[in-house]
Chains A and B, each alone.
Chain A
Amino acid sequence: MWATRNGTAGGRMDEAQHIDEAQGIDIVDVRYAYGAKPALADVSMALRPGRFTALLGPNGAGKSTLVSLLSGLFVPQGGRISIFGLDLAKDPLAALSVMGIVFQQQTLDLDLSVRQNMAYFAALHGLAGRRAGQRIEACLTRLGLAARQKEKVRALNSGHRRRLEIARSLVHEPRFLLLDEPTVGLDVPARADLVAHVHALCRDDGLTVLWATHLVDEVEAGDDLVVLHDGTVRAQGAVADVLASTGAHDVLGAFHRLTTPAPAEPAP
């Protein structure tokens, strides 16, 4: 077992590794700017372990920037990020080893088969041989792709490619799944299918999930919600709490109230 929910881990990669999953994901006062243009301004949020958290924000809110910071592609210009107690700045490799990441852009090799794509990713995480084979089989089965593992990715439709990316991100048994607008370009049934799959992963395996999206209908009533707008956190908590705090009846209403500027007072 790579990492357990009660906090001890190790074994699979023959290294002593300790994460405290109960600490969840902590993002504290994180800042990032592209030159003079701020993208995130003192963003703080806490993701509860084993929960599906929707990071909801319009285009340009800073979601992809936050995902890049969490995945170590960018480095915060201020603040700190902690993954299950691991400081991302001090121990990025340990933190990355417990993370599964699905980027907004598709990142598969179209000319390689489903299984070859999985095997490449497994190797990047130090998995090879029988162990890799078992994990690939399990993940493909879980995402309903086992029968298609010999097919080239080019032959898959967009929905199945996305499923494959999720299957791939699970191959090293991460405990934190980070998805950046994974339903972009999918039709409505494929979107619903993907959302359901990831909710099932969260529910059944206790994965901590951060799902960045600008689509309100991907948020379910039992989820946690963070609303990001103009690089700042406008609200966070369980969906019910966000609704109560905004006085809205549904997520769409809350989202509008939190992201639409108040009308200017009429001049006297």
Chain B
Amino acid sequence: MRRPAGIYLTCMVGVLWREALRFIHQRERFVAALVRPLIWLLIFAAGFRSILGVSIQPPYATYITYETYIVPGLIAMIQLFNGMQSSLAMVYDREMGSMRVLLTAPLPRWYLLASKLMAGTAVSLLQVYAFLIVAELVLVDLPPLGFLAVLPVLLLTGLMLGALGMLLSSTIRQLENFAGIMNFVIFPMFFLSSALYPLWRMQESSDLIYRISSANPFTHAVESLRFALYLEVEPTSLGIVAGALVVFFGLAVWGYDPRKGLVHRRGKG
């Protein structure tokens, strides 16, 4: 049965609105999302500034400070953590039952999951812009138009990392298993990327780590953001991020399909 477009729109707006309300009610989540990258920027970067020199490399036209270098990586970090937070919330919602309310709405499941993904990404955008404003005020000098130019890329990277979180949520059977995700997904993804140091520096120390980092979609999310902040486009990275989004979201929809997927099916009587 075909459903009118208005129903789809109303549903997505409803999911976005709910996520926004939950976000407003969870101020600690906002503060944590802001404090984490700021600690990296203000403490970690300050310590490493004198150790790590960053040569001139695109998109930078001149030498930059280490703080400037890691800003795109920290933006992607916010989105990665937000994606994982959404994943955790989905596992919790599934255990608590509220995910059932969403999944029994009379709309295709892929669309309901896409709405959920959009809502999570919208929240990550708020977090990123709050971080960018603080970073700009305190330490870093970014091109003013970069704030605008980065928006579509933020949307793409946020969706990709959110889809990864959604995929993981479909495979996690119990909330207690979520700690494993931290160890086996978030940390390797973040550290095996160009978030904290350029890939050519990694190649100097280990070709294997360089190759893994080059294949990491998170690296390409970081590089897409880095170029967009300086009003440039990195088509290869954008293509890889878009491809990863399609794969992750496709697998997440499969994971939530009751006929084929991995979602926990537990009888209660």
Contact = CB atoms under 8 A, between A and B. Distances in A.
A125 interface: yes
A121 B102 CA distance: 8
A107 B93 CA distance: 8
A13 to B, nearest CB: 6
B258 A125 contact: no
Contacts of A60: 267-269
A106 B102 CA distance: 13
Given A60-B269, A73-B104, A120 B14 contact: yes
Contacts of B25: 111-112
Contact of A62 (B7, B13, B103, B267): B267
Contact of A96 (B96, B106, B258, B266): B106
Given A105-B96, A123-B14, 4 more contacts: A34-B265, A59-B268, A107-B97, A120-B18
A187 interface: no
A127 B17 CA distance: 14
A60 B100 CA distance: 20
B143 to A, nearest CB: 39
Contacts of A63: 268-269
Contacts of A75: 258-259
16 contacts: A13-B7, A17-B1, A64-B267, A74-B265, A93-B107, A104-B268, A105-B97, A105-B100, A109-B21, A111-B22, A123-B14, A123-B15, A124-B14, A126-B4, A126-B7, A127-B10
Given A13-B4, A74-B258, A123-B11, A57 B269 contact: yes
A15 interface: yes
A59 B269 contact: yes
A103 interface: yes
A103 B100 contact: yes
A96 B26 CA distance: 32
Interface residues of A, number: 49
Of listed B102, B104, B108, residue having the most chain A CB within 10 A: B104
Given A93-B108, A111-B25, A123 B97 contact: no
B6 interface: yes
B98 interface: yes
B268 A124 contact: no
Contacts of B268: 59-60, 63-65, 104
A116 interface: yes
Contacts of B10: 123, 126-128
A91 B1 contact: yes
A14 B9 CA distance: 14
B204 to A, nearest CB: 50
B267 A15 contact: no
A62 B269 contact: yes
A125 B105 contact: yes
Contacts of A125: 7, 11, 105-106
Interface string A95-134: 0110101011111110110001001111111111000000
A86 to B, nearest CB: 9
A91 B267 CA distance: 25
A107 B269 contact: no
A127 B11 CA distance: 8
Nearest to A38: B267
Nearest to A74: B258
Contact of A93 (B3, B4, B102, B265): B3
B105 A109 contact: no
Contacts of B98: 107-109
Nearest to B96: A105
A128 B22 contact: no
A89 to B, nearest CB: 10
Contacts of B104: 71-73, 96, 99, 101
